[in-house]
């Protein structure tokens, strides 16, 4: 017969698995499976053999050999642990009593099948700008920079960009005027400057625009209005202010301008005067006479004029000025007074007709 010990209505066998007991003087000596003697004072009753099924099996201590023995891997899943974690479980599906329990491998496969059925997100295509190679076809350009310290101005890259867009770059205004229409002529510069080409652009009423206009068209792939990229005309020497460009349809029209200086001086600035619709005349010793000087409106002197030229100009009431008069006239957009930048002769005489009386 198996023995079931009860104390205060609680089953003591949950703590000790009893093998046998002996009674002595109302006290019970019990010996457990480990051979320990336990004395208890409580009433005991005998139970039938079937009641032993309620008792938990005795706990046995593992031996040293059992502790060192490797764990059998027969029932472990064959898939790696990393794959068993890669799953998404729907709680409504897994808790369903009709659903067959899934192994980690089957859950991974089921997850992949669900991903395959999801609608694929469209992959954005890279934005590409289609630049028409004929965007600036029949457009002509002159490039100048002076002493600008603008690091974004790269003449070589600008020329390459213009050629790629179909534009043509010229070295001089004379060549450009022969090859392109006026509405398609432009001068490119980093900012306003005091160069021969920039003043030629002001005189000929060719738009002087920033090189960033070309960079903007190349970046956006379309033509842009150049008016927002137009450069200032220059700096006034009277007010020290930067003057904006103003329309100049009748700047030097029909003015007869005498140019006294070297051949190089004549070659450089006679083109600018002609671009402003003036009529330049090269003065030298052979034509320095009253007839020639009398038909002039003004005389521009490079360095030093002869005393003969000074006397004739005073006699004919023709003002003699320096080249700065031309610069300021082009910057302001209208003819400035000849008295602002008069020619000063080394002898002390002033080429100002207002003082000749």
Question: Can you tell me which residue has the tokens 């089921």?
Answer: 110
Q: What is the pLDDT of residues 246-287, one digit of tens each?
A: 887 667 888 999 999 999 999 999 999 998 889 999 998 888
71 is written with which tokens?
A: 């764990």
pLDDT at 339: 77
Is the pLDDT at 302 greater than 60, yes or no? yes
For 45-59, 184-198, 256-270, 339-353, which range has the lowest pLDDT when averaged over its residues?
45-59
206 or 18, which is more confident: 206
Burial tier of 79 (Cβ tally within 10 Å: 0-12, 13-18, 19+): middle
H helices, E strands: number in the chain: 12, 16
Helix 212-220 vs helix 155-164: angle between axes, to the nearest 10 degrees? 40
Residue 137 C-alpha from the chain's centroid: 28
Question: Can you tell me which residue has the tokens 């002001």?
Answer: 202
Other C-beta atoms closer than 10 Å to the C-beta of 245 total 20
Query: In sequence order, what are the beta bridge partners of 350?
Result: 344
At CB < 8 A and 24+ separation, what contacts does 110-113 make? 111/86, 111/87
Q: What is the pLDDT of residues 170-206, one digit of tens each?
A: 998 888 888 778 788 999 999 999 999 999 999 988 9
Q: What is the pLDDT of residues 211-257, one digit of tens each?
A: 999 999 999 999 999 999 999 999 999 899 999 998 876 678 889 99
* Edge-to-edge order in the sheet of strand 185-189: 168-169, 140-143, 185-189, 208-210
166 or 119, which is more confident: 166
Sign of CA dihedral 52, 55, 57, 59: negative
pLDDT at 182: 79
pLDDT at 211: 96
The mean pLDDT of the chain is 75
pLDDT at 94: 47
* Edge-to-edge order in the sheet of strand 18-24: 18-24, 27-32, 37-40
pLDDT at 54: 59
């Amino acid at each position: 017969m198996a023995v079931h010990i009860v104390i205060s209505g609680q089953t003591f066998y949950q703590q000790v698995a009893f093998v046998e007991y002996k009674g002595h003087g109302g006290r019970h000596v019990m010996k457990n499976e480990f051979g320990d003697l336990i004395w208890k004072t409580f009433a005991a009753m005998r139970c039938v053999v079937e009641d032993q099924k309620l008792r938990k099996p005795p706990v046995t201590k593992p031996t040293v050999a059992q502790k060192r023995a490797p764990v059998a891997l027969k029932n472990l899943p064959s898939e790696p642990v990393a794959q068993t974690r890669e799953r998404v479980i729907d709680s409504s599906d897994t808790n369903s009593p009709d659903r067959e329990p899934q192994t980690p491998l089957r859950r991974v496969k089921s997850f992949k099948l669900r991903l395959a059925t999801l609608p694929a997100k469209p992959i954005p295509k890279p934005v590409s700008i289609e630049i028409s190679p004929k965007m600036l076809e029949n457009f002509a350009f002159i490039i100048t920079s002076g002493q600008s310290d603008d690091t974004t101005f790269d003449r070589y890259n600008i020329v390459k960009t213009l050629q790629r867009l179909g534009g043509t770059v010229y070295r001089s205004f004379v060549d450009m005027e022969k090859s392109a229409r006026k509405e398609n002529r432009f001068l490119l510069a980093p900012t306003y400057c005091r160069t021969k080409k920039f003043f030629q652009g002001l005189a000929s009423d060719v738009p002087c625009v920033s090189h960033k206009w070309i960079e903007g068209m190349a970046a956006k792939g379309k033509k842009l209005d150049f008016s927002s990229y137009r450069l200032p005309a220059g700096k006034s020497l009277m007010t020290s202010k930067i003057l904006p460009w103003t329309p100049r349809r009748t700047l030097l029209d029909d003015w007869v301008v005498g140019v006294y200086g070297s051949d190089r001086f004549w070659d450089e600035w006679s083109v600018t005067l002609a671009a402003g619709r003036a009529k330049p005349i090269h003065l030298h010793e052979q034509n320095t006479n009253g007839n020639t000087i009398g038909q002039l409106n003004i005389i521009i002197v490079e360095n030093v004029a002869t005393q003969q030229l000074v006397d004739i100009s005073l006699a004919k009431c023709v003002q003699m000025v320096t080249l700065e008069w031309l610069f300021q006239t082009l910057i302001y957009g209208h003819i400035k007074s000849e008295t602002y930048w008069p020619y000063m002769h080394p002898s002390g005489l002033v080429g100002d007709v207002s003082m000749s009386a």
